[in-house]
Amino acid sequence: MPAMRLSWRSALTFMTRETGWRRKLLLGGLFFLPFPPLGWLLALGYRSLTGVRLVQGLSPVLPGWEGNLAETLGRGVRAAGIILAYFTPFLLLYWLLGTGFRLASVPPGAAAAFLAVIIVFPPVMPVLAVAYPLRFPWLRFSAPEIAVLAAVFLLTFFVLPAAFVQVGLEGRWAGAFHPRSYLRYVARNLRTYCEAWALSLAVSAFAVCLGPLSPWGLFWSYLVILYTFNESLTQWDTPEVHRRFESCVLLRTLGPGPP
């Protein structure tokens, strides 16, 4: 079995190294409970704000909720916009194939409801994609079309974290839409990128299995995912990465991992 190049223990526990972390995670989990779409946006925004502080070496790394709610929500909305933009080709292909390239035949109410739910809460996209053909018989897919859609969805899902770490690397949201940069990063660091994905899937599955405690588990998992993909990025030995992470004290030494 190949040796791990990422510090899983650091990713799982980095948020516990500072005073007040329990309260910050407690509030983050509580925001998931009353209104999941809003809680999801706040979790995305908090992860983004934590990422800025992590990369810049600011202390404490976990920002306080007081006085940061507006910025946290704004960052969450922008992050959700990036996710929707990346999945737009999948959604267009889904409706084109499902209707036999006859979009005009789609009942407006059904399409509007589908899109409204996706815009408000993108994580339900896979569920709706499966449920809609069961509910509406005019939406049909052949086996090859299902295979194509699955491939497009999974590829988009796979590269999305690489797009987000480019936001941190470049210091601007437009960095998420520079495929040449993030595909080069994935290609040259495929092993650590896949390892980051393995840890991300593991902590996400663990969080879901926590039952009533899953909101707190999911919020914690978002922070773990933030750390592990940024650590993967630090092992991309380029001047841009060294300049951006030179002040970071939590992540390991910059440069390529062990052979």
Residue range 32-39: mean pLDDT, rounded: 80
Say if residue 177's pLDDT is above 50.
yes
Residue 138: per-residue pLDDT = 83
Residue 252: per-residue pLDDT = 53
Instruction: With respect to residue 258, please indicate whether it lies within any of the assigned structural domains.
Output: no
Of 168 and 46, the structure prediction assigns the larger pLDDT to 46
**Domain of 146, in residue numbers:** 8-244
The number of domains in the chain is 1
Say if residue 130's pLDDT is above 80.
yes
Instruction: With respect to residue 249, please indicate whether it lies within any of the assigned structural domains.
Output: no
Instruction: With respect to residue 254, please indicate whether it lies within any of the assigned structural domains.
Output: no
Say if residue 137's pLDDT is above 90.
no
- Three-state SS across the chain? CCCCCCCHHHHHHHHHCCCCHHHHHHHHHHHHCCCHHHHHHHHHHHHHHHHHHHHHCCCCCCCCCCCCHHHHHHHHHHHHHHHHHHHHHHHHHHHHHHCCCCHHHCCHHHHHHHHHHHHHCHHHHHHHHHHHHHHCCCCCCCHHHHHHHHHHHHHHHHHHHHHHHHHHHHCCHHHHHCHHHHHHHHHHCHHHHHHHHHHHHHHHHHHHCCHHHHHHHHHHHHHHHHHHHHHHHHCCCCHHHHHHCCCCCCCCCCCCCCC
- With a pLDDT cut of 70, the percent of the chain lying above it is 94
Say if residue 108's pLDDT is above 90.
no
Of 109 and 192, the structure prediction assigns the larger pLDDT to 192
Instruction: With respect to residue 134, please indicate whether it lies within any of the assigned structural domains.
Output: yes
Residue range 93-115: mean pLDDT, rounded: 86
Residue 253: per-residue pLDDT = 45
Count the Cβ atoms, other than its own, within 10 Å of residue 256.
13
Instruction: With respect to residue 29, please indicate whether it lies within any of the assigned structural domains.
Output: yes
Mean pLDDT of the chain: 89
Which range, of 58-62, 90-94, 228-232, 242-246, averages the lowest pLDDT? 242-246
pLDDT classification of 100: cutoffs 50, 70, 90: confident
Say if residue 254's pLDDT is above 50.
no
Instruction: With respect to residue 41, please indicate whether it lies within any of the assigned structural domains.
Output: yes
State pTM to two decimals.
0.90
Instruction: With respect to residue 158, please indicate whether it lies within any of the assigned structural domains.
Output: yes
Residue 256: per-residue pLDDT = 44
pLDDT tens digits, residue range 148-164? 999 999 999 999 999 99
Instruction: With respect to residue 110, please indicate whether it lies within any of the assigned structural domains.
Output: yes
Q: Give residue 185's Cα distance to chain centre.
A: 17
